[in-house]
Amino acid sequence: MEVTYLLSEIESVAREVIKRSKSKTLLFYGEMGAGKTTLIKSIIKELGAEDIGSSPTFSLVNVYETENGPVNHFDFYRIKDESEAWDMGFEEYLDSDAWNLIEWPQKIENFIEEEHQKLDIEVVGEGKRMLKFC
C-alpha cells in the first residue's frame, strides 16, 4: 500500500498506519528529514499518549504510557554496532506486547523479523510525503 500525504494530514495517516499495520513493531525507513519522527509522534498521540516529548536520539528509547499500553520509540541513528541494542535489552522490548516504533532499523538488521511492519517514507514535494507499507 502507498499513501501520499501533506504534513497537515498526518493525524489521519497515523490512524491508517495503526489500523493497517500487520505488527505492533513498526520499522521506519527514510532519509534524514523525511518525516519519520513527525509521523511517529503522531502515531504515539493517536495511541493515547499525553506527552509526546522528543526523539530518543541520545537515549535510544523513550517509553510512553498510553491508554493502549506502553509505546516504545527507538532511534538507532547514532549506534555504531548492533551490540548496543542488545546491551540495552532491546530484545525484551520486542518480546513485550507494547508498540515498538523504530527509526533507523537498518542499524539493527539482525533483530528484524519478517512479521515486523516496514514503512518507507519519502519526500515527494514541499510538505508532501509518500508512505509505503513494505
**Residue 124's CATH number:** 3.40.50.300
Q: What is the pLDDT of residues 78-120, one digit of tens each?
A: 999 999 998 888 999 998 999 999 999 999 988 888 899 999 9
Q: What is the pLDDT of residues 118-128, one digit of tens each?
A: 999 999 999 89
| Contacts of the segment 70-73: beta carbons below 8 A, 24+ positions apart | 70/96, 70/98, 70/99, 71/43, 71/44, 71/47, 71/98, 71/99, 71/101, 72/96, 72/98, 72/99, 72/100, 72/101, 73/40, 73/44, 73/101, 73/103
Q: Choose among 108, 106, 134: nearest CA to 119.
A: 134
Q: Give me the number of domains the chain comprises.
A: 1
Any idea what DSSP says for residue 121?
Answer: E
Kindly indicate the confidence band of residue 1, based on its pLDDT and cuts at 50, 70 and 90: confident
The dihedral formed by the CA atoms of 122, 33, 36 and 16, expressed in degrees to the nearest 10: -50
Taking the model in full, what pTM does it have?
0.91
Instruction: Write out the residue range of the structural domain in which residue 77 sits.
Output: 2-133
